[in-house]
Amino acid sequence: MEQVRLNKYLAQCGVCSRRDADRLIDDGAVLVNGRLAERGMQVTEQDEIQVRGKTVYAVRKPVVLAFYKPFGVTCTERDAHAEKIISDLVKYPERVTYAGRLDKDSEGLLLLSNDGDLIQAMMKGANRHEKEYLVRVDREIGKDFTDKMAGGVFLEELQLTTRECTVEKTGKYTFRIVLTQGVNRQIKRMCRACGCRVTGLKRIRVMHVTLGDLKPGEYRELDGRDVERLYRDCGLALPS
């Protein structure tokens, strides 16, 4: 059986992120074959692994949900100060977590899954997976704006230039943009560097999955063909 680091295994099982898994291990909440786990140890599916007394199992059937995150919901799994978080709206029988966050004041498509490896692969900027957004700004835009955005914008605070992207004007104050990288608050930073401020932002597509006819707060489970395509496009083998 293939050996993997314990924190990765727990993430694959959908228990928590790798970082949180390390915290659980440090807190003595994880047992491997009846013994306290240690950071960095290697495990296989044949090992009995318990978290807070509950046995966990590797993901057998991958689940992917398309969720319409509404405005005002915070992308976090725990935050005592957040008024509303994703788990308040997504009541699914097993733990799922999101790939690529959206700001509290943004809305649109989030993909959620019980497979930590798929989450990591979808979020990895080097994979250049497309994400499409509809954006509204606070001033009228023209070809100079769309050309500048599409050609790559230097972000002084991060000392980097964004990748070339697709930008299409859709109205006096609105445009569509397709990104292939995951810089934090990228669209807002790009717009600010181009002299305007984002007043509305909606993500409508991640890779080949679209928001479709979902309404804010709703989610749908992707069918087998869509899930298979996600794994294939991320270069991963489908769990069996």
Residues with catalytic function: 103
- CA 101 → CA 5, 51, 173, 209, distances in Å? 25, 26, 24, 16
| Cβ pair 14, 96 in contact under 8 A | yes
CA torsion, points 32, 38, 41, 45, in degrees to nearest 10? 20
- The span from the CA of 206 to the CA of 189, in Å, is 20
Contacts of 172 (CB under 8 A, 6+ apart): 140, 141
Paired tokens of 132: 């499409």
Provide φ and ψ at 58, rounded to 5°. Answer: -65, 150
Amino acid at 227: V
Contacts of 105 (CB under 8 A, 6+ apart): 71, 72, 201
| CA neighbor of 61 nearest in space, from 97, 17, 115 | 115
| Cβ pair 108, 203 in contact under 8 A | yes
- The span from the CA of 5 to the CA of 238, in Å, is 20
